[in-house]
Amino acid sequence: MEGESFAYLEGLAKVVRYFILSCTTQAGSGHPTSSLSAADIMTGLMFGGFFLFDPAQPGLPNNDRLILSKGHASPLLYALWAAAGQITEEELMTYRVFGSPLEGHPTPHFRYVDAATGSLGQGLSVGVGMALNARYLDKLPYRTYVLLGDSEMAEGSVWEAIQIAAFYKLDNLVGIIDVNRLGQRGETMYGWDVAAYGTRVESFGWEAIIIDGHDFAEIVAAFRKALQVRGRPAMIIAKTVKGKGVPAIENKNGWHGKALNQEEADAAIGLLEPFDRKLRGQMEKPKDVRPEKTASRSVPGPAYRLGEAVATRKAYGEALKRLYPAFPDMVVLDGEVSNSTYAEIFSEAYPERYFEMYVAEQNMVGAAVGLSARGKLPFVSSFAAFLTRACDQIRMSQYSDANITFCGSHAGVSIGQDGPSQMGLEDIALFRSITDSVVFYPSDAVSTEKLVEQAALLRGIVYVRTTRGTTPVLYGPREEFEIGGNKVLKGGAQDRVAVIAAGITLFEALNAHNELAKAGIPLRVIDLYCVKPIFSSSLKDSLGPARAVITVEDHHPEGGVGEAVQSALAGTEIPVYSLAVKRLPRSGKPAELLDYEEISKDSIVKKVKELL
């Protein structure tokens, strides 16, 4: 508004800059220049009456959400909360100190952070998840704000989020691009061409609002306008100066991720004078509205006949549908392959709890992190091979303390003719490498259903690996599957060798057992339905009298079932031999490919005979 005074915001922005400089100089590292460029616009957001948040109750369902997609600007985030009076100057000075919640890049160790950032281009997807939740699940009026850097606009994942946000008409989502022109090692692709960002964003159906990111009149007007946009998300594109407020380093290359020394910082703070270091900002509180809660209901167990041929991928879909009443926070996402993963069984039963995320796996996983941060229980599916597309988002999800179950279908060469591009052969390695993850690899429909139920009960990252083809039901409906456990399917006192397998190769092992039995050779067969964790004592018990182990897996040897078993048996004298996918696969019939990779019955029989 003309004549409006912004002295309050200007004063607060100086406090924010003072905090940014103080804490980075104290730490001797960090990203002050990337923080300074967005200091004005974020001060305007938080203290200009736009950001509705009760700092005393960060968990309030209707609080607005803020995601710092440019996570390296963490000093700005901490400075804002210090300027809000929510952390002390003393706490702020623990920035980057071991054990402090104020980490180099934001993590939920800091109570006002919902999702870890620092790998660029992921924050907008998290925001999409939060905005989907507000609009379609919790039906709350809170808004989600995401601060993006201009460098990260090069990441495709940002454009995945942009298109999906427009598709779902998320007018409760506001992005802010801090166009400070300079990336880590020089100018970005578009420099200060803010119009370039505007045209692109508009072409995807967003409202673009281009401003000078250091002019409070424009900043305040931009947020006012953004809040009025209906039917589509808004992107504020702010032309800014990297290092703004510290003339010595403003708009200079070579100052990315570099703290000022004490002398430089003192001089810079001196130039901010006069300002009131004790000035603190107020945020407006949101309406205390809460989502309707659906009560949890008990559900029947799975119903399959022993020997019935059912694909585990299908059992996954059936399980989701069966379990939803017991887990009403459940929400299901799929990357345009729900008729293959069988997530469609759920989507047809509960369309309001299903989001089609199209062929954009990175954004799908980021959105799941956002949904998880809002208390939902996301189940995310695609082909196991295509979950690798979101490897970085899956990696980051562990730092967001996310609660997500992933299901990768079409595991291994047993998919057959479609060929290697469609074969998940490194998914176990990927998911095992996530700290404290749980990896399930069910072989039949009953274990799939039971393990999906375990996944819903567990907190954290869970992976369920399913198979394309049908397999016979092995277990009765009352069988229980403990985490870390396994099942001895064939075993006797004369066993000298045990085969440990899961999924499709378990049936090859059972066939090998039968063939060898005819020759009077005993073979122990163990179903390793839980690949991570493996409780060593449980596995050793299951080996019984066997003195050698053969692992058989439809996966590369590295990081897979074989190495998991070796790790579980490390320190014992039991040798472990690994049959796994070691040759580059081809198109062909499933049985041909299992033979070619030497993970079929014949190879197991051969290996057992070698060992005896």
Which residues are identified as catalytic?
361
Site for a second copy in 490-549 (CB under 8 A): 532
Binders of a second copy among residues 124 to 163 (CB under 8 A) are: 151-152, 154-160, 163
From 170, 576, 594, 604, residue interacting with a second copy (rule: CB under 8 A) = 576
Q: Whose Cβ is closer to a second copy: residue 111's or residue 583's? A: 583
3-state secondary structure 337-352: CHHHHCHHHHHHHCHH
Q: What residue ranges in 513-575 does DSSP mark as E strands?
A: 524-527, 530-532, 548-552
Q: How are strands ordered across the β-sheet holding 207-212?
A: 65-68, 144-149, 173-179, 234-239, 207-212
Q: How many residues bind a second copy (CB under 8 A)?
A: 107
**Judged by CB, which is closer to a second copy: 433, or 470?**
433
Q: Which two tokens stand for residue 354?
A: 């299903």
CB 202 to a second copy: min, Å: 7
Minimum CB distance to a second copy smaller for 96 or for 490: 96
d(CA 335, CA 356): 7
Which residue, 43 or 240, is less far from a second copy as judged by CB? Answer: 240
Q: Is 559 in the site for a second copy (CB under 8 A)?
A: yes
DSSP 43: H
Of 337, 407, 438, 552, which one interacts with a second copy (CB under 8 A)?
337
Greatest CA separation for the chain: 96
CB distance 52 to 284 below 8 Å: yes
Q: How far is the CB of 128 from a second copy (least distance, A)?
A: 13
Q: Write down the least CB distance from residue 39 to a second copy, Å.
A: 21
**Does residue 85 belong to the site contacting a second copy (CB under 8 A)?**
no
∠ CA 54-31-47, nearest 5°, is 25
CB of 95 to a second copy, least distance (A): 9
Measured CA to CA, the distance from residue 373 to residue 137 in angstroms comes to 13
Least distance between a second copy and beta carbon 391 (Å): 3
Q: Are 40 and 76 in contact (CB under 8 A)?
A: no
Contacts of 324 (CB under 8 A, 6+ apart): 330, 346, 349, 350, 353
Among 139, 290, 583, 609, binds a second copy (CB under 8 A): 583
> Distance between CA 276 and CA 427 in Å, rounded?
54
Q: Are 15 and 277 in contact (CB under 8 A)?
A: yes
Out of 33, 34, 312, 338, name the contact with a second copy by CB under 8 A.
338
Residues within window 465-484 making contact with a second copy, judged by CB under 8 A: none
Stretch of residues binding a second copy (CB under 8 A), selected from 58-66, 92-100, 223-231, 233-241: 92-100
CA atoms of 509 and 555, how far apart (whole Å): 15
Q: Residue 300 carries which DSSP code?
A: P
Separate counts of helices (H) and strands (E) for the chain: 23, 19
* DSSP designation for 306: T
Contact 476, 511 (CB under 8 A): no
Residue (275 or 577) nearer to a second copy, CB: 577
Which among 56, 73, 46, 29 is positioned nearest to 177, based on CA atoms?
A: 73
- If the CB atoms of residues 32 and 562 are measured against a second copy, the closer one turns out to be 562
| Site mask for a second copy (CB under 8 A), range 391-420, x = bound | xx--xx-xx-----------------xxxx
Tell me the angle at which helices 123-132 and 156-167 cross, rounded to the nearest 10 degrees.
Answer: 20
Contact between 116 and a second copy per CB under 8 A: yes
Give the separation between CA 19 and CA 24, rounded to whole angstroms: 8
C-beta closer to a second copy: residue 8 or 577: 577
**Shortest separation between residue 357's beta carbon and a second copy, angstroms:** 9
- Of the listed pieces 49-57, 200-208, 311-319, 600-608, which binds a second copy according to CB under 8 A? 200-208
- Of 14 and 72, which has the nearer Cβ to a second copy? 72
CA distance 132 to 145: 13
Q: Does 362 bind a second copy (CB under 8 A)?
A: yes
**If binding is defined by CB under 8 A, does position 34 make contact with a second copy?**
no
Is 99 an interacting residue with respect to a second copy (CB under 8 A)? yes
Q: Is 108 in the site for a second copy (CB under 8 A)?
A: no
Nearer CB in complex with a second copy: 117/144: 117
- Within 8 A by CB and 6+ apart from 584, the residues are 420
Q: Give the x-and-dash track for 39-78 against a second copy (CB under 8 A).
A: --------------------------------x-------
Q: Is 452 in the site for a second copy (CB under 8 A)?
A: no
* 417-436: contacts with a second copy (CB under 8 A): 417-422, 425-426, 429-430, 432-436
Rounded to whole angstroms, the Cα distance separating 374 from 115 reads 10
Identify residues 256-315 at the interface with a second copy (CB under 8 A): none
Is residue 21 a contact point for a second copy (CB under 8 A)?
A: no
DSSP letter string over 91-156?
Answer: HHTTTT-TT-SS-SS--TTSTT-SS---STT-HHHHHHHHHHIIIIIS-----EEEEEESGGGGSH
Q: Is 487 a binder of a second copy (CB under 8 A)? A: no
- By CB under 8 A, residue 566 contacts a second copy: yes
* Minimum separation from the CB atom of position 163 to a second copy (A): 7
- Which region among 130-138, 184-192, 233-241, 402-410 touches a second copy (by CB under 8 A)? 184-192
